[in-house]
Structures are given as C-alpha cells and as structure tokens.
Chain A
C-alpha cells in the first residue's frame, strides 16, 4: 500500500508541474497583450497589467489582420470541405468494395501516402504550382493541402464505415437504393462522429500550416495567419505587447473551436489511431 501511494504521489506532482509549464507561456501571452509598451519593460513580466489596454489589438487589426484571418478561413474551409468529401466517398467505396482488386490497391496507395512528409516534396509541389500558373494565390495553398489531408482522412473514415453492420447495407439494397443513395442516407449519418473528427483534425493542421504559404505565396495579400505572425514579429521587433496581441488573436479562434468540438476530437483521435 505504501508503494502504491508513492507512485501516485509522484504522478500527481508531475502532472501539476507539467500544468504550470504548459500554462505559463499561454498566461504570459494573454497578459502581455494587454500591457502598454512602456509598462512592459518596467514591470515584472508575469505580473498582470496594471492599466489594461486594447491598443495592441487595434494596432494589429489595423495592420491587415482581418485580411489574413479571412485568407486563413478561405484556405482552411476551401481545403477541408473538399478533402473530407472526396475522402468520404473514397472510404465508402474502399469499404463497400473491399473484394475488388483495384479498390484494394487504391487503399494501399492512400495508406502509403501517410509516410510522405510534406516538407520533403515541397519543391516539386512548388514547381507544379508554378507550371499550373497558380503561384501566389490561395488556391496554391489549397490544392496540396487537400492532397495531404486525404490519407489520414481515408484511414479514419474507412475504419468507421467498416463498423457499420453489413445488414444495414443489405437492407438498403433490398429497398432498391443505389450506392450513391446508400452513401448519403446510411453511411453519412452513421459516420458523422468520424467526419467531425476528421474535419477538426484537418482544419487544425491546415489553419496552422506554415511551409506551404511560405513557399507558394509571395505577396502580403495572400498571407495566412501563421505567416503573417512571422512577418509581424519582424516588423514590430521590440513591441512585445503588439506581438503578444497578434499571437493571442491567431490563437483564440482555434481555442474556441476546441472548446466546442473537444469531445469529438479527442474520442475520434483515439479511435482513429487505435484501429
């Protein structure tokens, strides 16, 4: 019993220490974003602001933040919706036609795709985008983002569709439904939890994407938020509160989305990786 308590005590202490390590930088960003430039340098960096101000947020918003935010929204929605749609259709076909040799090869191809790191193929992607005359457009970021969302989406969605009892498909068939109708009216509603998971997961990685916007766009107009942040940091340099405000602004939307979709994301992630 003594040993039992000791390990638990150790785990508990570690868990709380880790919580402090995780939260301290986040706390710092938020409080710093409300400090004035002058007070930042004279007060303790972890002390809450004595004279909270929204000026930093105004500065950031005035320098085109809304534009970057919209760009990120367009890229994320423009990539996630098609990616999940085509992945869902492909997963349905792969599960329903599992005996077919071609479909099995297609499935294997997608699974192998999990092993392709985006960084390693960014040069040919850059070349393809230039040849397609899409360089420096949001579409240039969207197209490869869709492609790289497909393998994991197919993996997770196919695992879920596979759990749908075969009898349900059979009875739809007896009722005279086409495969397309079955996909819409049976598979889609039953797979909704997995779809939500895949949407959130992909949205997160595309929203935070850095290398594609860096390599495939050039003009400030086409900048997404992570890239804009990096530019801000270069521009504002010593104005730490303004930088903190821009970090906070880019982070709040995702934290809100996380708060809404948390259960789905976590249960889906665990299930997706465990099957």
Chain B
C-alpha cells in the first residue's frame, strides 16, 4: 500500500452477537471473498511458488527447485539490502516514536490552537510519496536549495550524492511523512487515559514530568506496540519514496529490500529470485510484528488496547 500501511497485527475474534444461524448470509461475503482471494491470497501463495522457479518474465514458468533461493542467498547484495532496510527501520523508529509521543501528548489537550496544529500536521499524509520525493529532491539541491534559501551554508550539502547523507535524507523524509499519523494515534490514546489517574497523582504531589513517565508512558504501552508495528512494516516495504528520490543510489547506499526486489524482478527480469526476496520480505514482516507483540507483553489483545 502507499501512504498508510495496513497494520500487520492480528486482531482478536469478534464477540458473538448473533445466534448459530447466519448460513444464509454467506453469499453476501462472496464478492469480497472472490476478489480478495484472486488478488490477495492467490498472489501470496503464488509468490512462494514462483520463488521455486527461475521464471525470466517471458519464457515458460518451470519448477527449478532451490535455484532461485541459492542465487538470492549467495548474492552479496542481499545482506546489504537487509542492512539498509534495518538501518532505515531502526533509525526512523528512533526519530519518529519520541517525536510522535511528545507531539501526541501535547496535542491531546483540548485547546483550540492545538486542534489547528493537528489539522496542518495531517497534510503530509495526503501527499503521494512521489510528490514528496520530487519536492525534496529539488529542495535539497546543493546550489539552489534549502541552504541558500535559509542563509545556512552548512545546509548546502550534496545530500543525495553522498552515501551517508542520502540514508539520513530518506530517514528524515519518512519521518516527515509519517510522524503526523503516529501523532494522531498517540493523541487519541492519550485522550482515552482516565483523568482520575492524573488527579490521584496530583494529590500525591507528582509533577508533569513525573506524571508523564509514571502514568502517560505506561498507559501508552499498547499504543506504542501498535504504532511501532505500523512503522516497522512500513519501513520494510518502503518503495515509492526511495525509488523516486534516489532509485537506490548513490551506488547501492539506499537500496532497501523492497527496491532490491523490484530491481531483481522488473529490471533484471529475474522473477524467481525476486519472488524469493519477496518471501523474505513477508517472513521478516511477520517475524517483526510477532516480536513486537511479545515485547508488548501481551498476546492477541494488543490491537484492542492500542491506539
């Protein structure tokens, strides 16, 4: 998906409201079931199947055992792509989470101007990653860009031409785009914390900072799990932004996993190995969201309490 990645969290079973009947209603689910199966479930099984072929995009599709997997796992580009992906994931989490929590807590107070801020904060979420990447590309021009505009010469760097800087730029832009969304989630979560907890702590003489660390943060625990899961899966599948901004460059500095899959499949026509990379993508995503749920100290209900 594009702007807002769907949550990769399992949700608890619905509560039973009807009786044991409902068999006559199944036909109502058929259109959704049909199209979701055709373009969601079948492709998921298909990508696994294709990873055991060496389909080259034009020729016949024939099983070839583990050939594609050995190609991918022996390819030195894979560890690099994983490294870049985890680097962007980790650092953008470190930037986004504290910012979103602080802004969310601040905006949670029902003040008029804060509502106005929240409205403006939302705008980056409306823009396509392509539009954002193109805008930043022009703004980061070393000669005519942001450094000159603000009169800050140290900002006149070759942002996208330097390997380290380019990774930093990707992390900055991802944060620019998604902090608003996570701020929104935290804002809602903070509002649902019972005010009685704060009143009680006030009687005990707790200050704002103490309240933040002893009440707000612990109460936000499950929201942090939900928000982090969205961030992690979002970074894992980050494609549009990098593709338009740097196309993986300079060199292979920003060639993350999803981009590596696209290049292998649609540019090098190695659909088998690209499918193997896609399977790795799915497995890493599932693994990470499971891990986050464990860290959150709770099982299936995390989504219920979160956000």
Q: Is the pairing of A and B real?
A: yes
Interface residues of A (CB under 8 A from B): 1-8, 10-12, 14-15, 18-19, 21-23, 25-26, 28-29, 32, 40-41, 44-46, 82, 85-87, 89-90, 92-100, 102-104, 106-128, 143-144, 146-148, 150-152, 154-155, 158, 162, 166, 179, 183, 201, 204-211, 215, 225-227, 229-230, 233, 240, 243-244, 247, 250-251, 254-255, 258, 262, 266, 269-270, 273-275
**A93 close to B29 (CB less than 8 A):** yes
Q: Which of B102, B125, B139 has the most CB of A within 10 A?
A: B139
For A154, the chain B residues whose CB sits under 8 A away are: 32
Cβ–Cβ contact B240 & A28, under 8 A: no
CA distance A75 to B278 in the complex (A): 26
Is A14 in contact with B139, judged by CB distance below 8 angstroms?
no
Pair A205/B239 contact, Cβ less than 8 Å: no
List A contacts of B243 (CB < 8 A): 210
Let me know if A121 and B126 touch, CB within 8 A.
Answer: no
B103–A210 touching, CB < 8 Å? no
Contacting pair A146 B188 (CB below 8 A)? no
Which 9 A-B residue pairs are closest in the complex by CB-CB distance? A97-B22, A124-B46, A147-B39, A3-B207, A100-B22, A11-B106, A208-B128, A45-B149, A124-B43
Write out, one digit per residue, whether chain B residues 123-146 have a CB within 8 A of any chain A CB (1) or not (0). 111111111101111110000111
Q: Are B176 and A21 in contact (CB under 8 A)?
A: yes
For B188-223 the 0/1 string (1 means CB < 8 A from A) is: 110010000000000000011110100000000000
Which secondary structure dominates chain B's binding surface?
helix
| Contact A7:B212 (CB < 8 A) given known A22-B121, A114-B6, A226-B130 | yes
Q: Which of the residues A89, A93, A124, A244 comes within 8 Å of B50, measured between beta carbons? A: A124
* Least distance between A170 CB and chain B CB atoms (Å): 11
CA A104 – CA B31 in complex, angstroms?
16
B residues adjacent to A (C-beta < 8 A) = 1-11, 13-26, 28-29, 31-33, 35-36, 38-44, 46-47, 50, 61, 99, 102-103, 105-107, 114, 117-132, 134-139, 144-146, 148-150, 176, 179-180, 184-185, 188-189, 192, 207-210, 212, 226, 233, 236-237, 239-240, 243-244, 258, 261-262, 265-266, 271, 274-275, 278-279, 281-282, 285-286, 289, 304, 306-307
For residue A107, which residue of chain B has the nearest CB?
B14
Give me 7 A-to-B residue pairs in the complex whose CB atoms sit less than 8 angstroms apart, sorted by A's number: A4-B207, A22-B180, A99-B22, A123-B50, A210-B129, A226-B131, A247-B135
Among A90, A123, A152, max chain B CB count under 10 A is at: A123
A150 and B35 form a contact (CB under 8 A): yes
Given contacts A100-B25, A251-B131, whether A162 and B121 have CB atoms under 8 Å apart is no
Residue in chain A with minimal CB distance to B17? A98
Interface pair B40/A28, CB less than 8 Å apart: no
Could you tell me the distance in whole angstroms from the C-beta of A100 to the nearest C-beta in chain B? 3
